[in-house]
Structure 1
Amino acid sequence: MHPLKLIETTPGKYSLLLNAGSTEVDDVIAELGHEPNGYFWEGIAQLIVQDEAPALAGRIEYDPEGGMFVAYGTDRAALEDLGERMSALASDEERMRELVTTAEEAGFEFDD
């Protein structure tokens, strides 16, 4: 799941973490006019849930910061699923370019 990490913060509560600026696609994100911060990655997570994994909707909450993406909740399986999907995207420049371009064409606004 690299570069994301899933940790148990307290018994039964989990956080999915990504240090912003630590992925292989940071240059592509900047090239597309965005800052690869935690808020941008929240938008990516929302798009993944909306378009690829609607069964995760309502099972994950977000609390990003400038330097870190954070998703959390009690559903470890949902966070693992999201983490695997985001991990694959964090190393695939072509897919990132396609996802951001398609989202913007559809009117999605990233909050970065």
Structure 2
Amino acid sequence: MNKEQLKNLDMWFNEEQHELIIQELTKTALDKLEYELTGHLARAYNNVGQYGKAIILLSGVRDEGETDSLWHYRLGYAYYYAGREEEALRYFENAYRLDPTDEQAKMFIQSIGDILGENQGMQNTVVDEEALLPFRWVAHASSVSLILNAGSYKNEVFAGRIDEGFEGNGYDWGSLAAVFIDEVMPDLEGRVHFDPEADMFCAYSEDGESLKQFALGFKAACEDDVLIRDLFSRSELD
């Protein structure tokens, strides 16, 4: 690995051009990749939703990764979004043990604790999860969440205002969702809340039916290109 290659990888990551990272790093046979480059490639696979590939890749460098908090975090991330929360929890706990300053790992540990302790009340909200993809429906102990891996959906909409600073990150999705609530489903104001991160959009509610109503409506709006672009035109940069 040379400095110029690493500079390009970091630049593409910051610009959310994860496919370029994959194209660059898969020019080399995977079993010939240096450990650090393997981590970059796994992160790129995670960011484009190819969690199975990330799991396989990271598992292949387990011996080197056992003492690396970032390796544990990336593997936990892949397992989490692949719907394998119990396996994800172990890796996030290891990441946090190795790096107690890792607030993202801590957040995932708490989220998974909620998921694994989900109660029957939230399970009573029946949702066609396939219809919501790529959004992910998650039931917690006393609430439900709708989660999206930022950068994996509708990038072309956000690209229309990139000169204003929009990137399609979790905060930008939060701004778009707020306009949707205000203009399309104002009755959900105060019942559906947003808690985005840089790489993740999250809507949540203690009322499963309210979040279900939002989730179905928002996904339908996203699939209507004219409507979603119109709503986004009034989104404000966070």
RCO higher in structure (CA 8 A, sep ≥6): 1
Bigger fraction of residues in strand: 1
TM-score normalised to structure 2 length: 0.41
Structure 2 segments unaligned to the other structure (5+ residues): 1-131
**Is the contact made by 1:39 and 1:66 (CA closer than 8 Å) also made in structure 2?**
yes
54, 58, 62: which is aligned to 2:194?
A: 62
Q: Distance in 2 between matches of 1:2 and 1:76?
A: 18
**Equivalent in the alignment of 1:88:** 220
Using the aligned pairs only, state the percent identity. 34
Aligned 8 A contact 2:193 2:205 in 1: yes
Give the secondary structure class of the aligned counterpart of 1:90: helix
Q: Which of the residues 110, 125, 133 maps onto 1:2? A: 133
Match of 1:32 among 161, 173, 192: 161
Q: Residue 45 and residue 28 in structure 1: after superposition, are their counterparts in 2 closer, same or farther (change >3 A)?
A: closer
Give 1:92 shift: 3.3
The structure that has the greater radius of gyration is 2
Deviation, 1:110, is 2.4
| CA distance in 2: counterparts of 1:82 and 1:75, whole angstroms | 11
Deviation at 1:7, TM superposition (A): 1.0
**What is residue 143 of structure 2 aligned with on the other side?**
13
Asked if the contact 1:45/1:82 (under 8 Å) is kept, the reply is no
Hey, what's the Cα distance between the residues in 1 that align with 2:169 and 2:218? 14
Spell out, residue by residue over 1:32-89, the C-alpha distance to the aligned partner (whole angstroms, 9 max, x if none): 2221111111111111111011110110221100111111121111111111122123
CA distance in 2, matches of 1:75, 1:46: 18
The answer to which structure has the higher helix fraction is 2
- 8 Å Cα contact 1:20/1:67 also seen in 2: yes
State the partner residue of 1:50. Answer: 182
Is the aligned partner of 1:79 residue 2:208?
A: no
> Contact 1:3–1:87 at 8 Å: present in 2 too?
no
In 2: Cα distance, 1:49 partner to 1:83 partner = 11
TM-score normalized by the length of structure 1: 0.82
TM-superposed deviation, 1:31: 2.2
Shift of the 32–96 alpha-carbon distance from structure 1 to 2, 3 Å rule, reads farther
